[in-house]
Structure 1
Amino acid sequence: MAKLYLLLAALLGATGVILGAFGAHGLRDKVAENLLEAYKTGVHYQMIHALALLGVALLIQQWGARASLATAGALFALGILLFSGSLYGLTFGGPRWLGPVTPLGGLMMIGGWVALFVAALNYSR
C-alpha cells in the first residue's frame, strides 16, 4: 500500500507541476478568467493533496498498514481525481454535470483528513 501511494503521490505531483505550468503559459488568453481561476484552484488542491498522499505513504511505511491510513490515501487520491479533474474538465468545456462532481471530490479530501486524524488518535508504538 505504501508503494502504491508513493507512486500516486509522485505521479500527481509531477502532473500538478505540468498542469500548473500549462495553465500559466498556455491558457492565459485562451479561456475566461473565471475558468482560469477554477483551473488554478484544481492545480493548487492537486499539489496539496499529492503531498498529503506522500505523507500517508511515509506513515504507512513507519507505522505499518492501518485501515485509517489506507482510507486516508484512497480518499486523497479519489478527491484529487474528482475535485481537480472536474475543474480541469470544466475549464476545457466539459459537460455541465462536472460542476456537482467538484464538491464530492472536496468531501473526499475532507474525509481523507478526518481519516488521517483518526489514524493519529489511534497511533501507539
Structure 2
Amino acid sequence: MHKNFLAWSAILGALSVTLGAFGAHKLKELVPPETVSTFQTGVTYQFYHAFALLAVGILYANYPGPLMTWAGRCFLLGILLFSGSLYLLTIFKATETVGLNKFGIITPFGGLFFIAGWICMALAFLKK
C-alpha cells in the first residue's frame, strides 16, 4: 500500500504545481480575485497533503498497519473533497454556471478527512 501512497503523492504534487501555475497566470483573466483566492486555497491544501501522503508512504515501513493506511486514505479523500470542491466552484464561476454553487458544502467534509488523517497518523506513532 505504501507504494500507492508514494505514487499518488508524486502525481498530486505535480498536479499542484500545474494548477498553481494556471492559477497564478491564466485564471486571473477568467474570474474575479476572490475566486482566484478560493482556487489557490485548494492548490495549497492539495500540495500540503501531497507531502503528507509522501510522509505516509515513507513512514509506513516503520509504522505499518491500518492506522497509517487510513491516514493515507483520509488524505486522499480530503484532497478529493476539499480541493476538488474548490476547483469545481472555480469552474462554475468561470463558466457562469448557475445553481451548482452548492458544491461548497462538500469542502468542510474534506477538511474533516484531513484532520482524521493527521489523527490516524498520530495514533499510528503512539501505538508502536
Aligned to 1:104: 109
Is 2:31 the counterpart of 1:26? no
SS at match of 1:62: coil
Q: TM-score, normalising length from structure 2?
A: 0.92
Residues 36-51 of structure 1: matches in 2 within 5 Å?
36-51=36-51
Aligned-pair distance for 1:62? 3.1
> Where do 4+ consecutive residues of structure 1 move more than 2 Å?
none
Matched, 1:55 2:55: yes
- Distance of 2:77 and 2:102 partners within structure 1: 18
Q: CA shift at 1:34, angstroms?
A: 1.1
CA RMSD of aligned residues (A): 1.0
The TM-score, its normalising length taken from structure 1, stands at 0.94
The share of aligned pairs that are identical, in percent, is 46
**Counterparts of residues 1-125 of structure 1 (less than 5 Å):** 1-63=1-63, 65-93=64-92, 95-123=100-128
Structure-2 separation of matches of 1:50 and 1:74:
12
Q: How far off is 1:29 after superposition?
A: 2.4
Taking the aligned partners of 2:4 and 2:110, their CA distance within structure 1 comes to: 20
Q: How many residues align?
A: 122
Unaligned stretches of 5+ residues in structure 2: none
Farther off after superposition, 23-32 or 5-14: 23-32
Gap regions ≥5 residues in structure 1: none
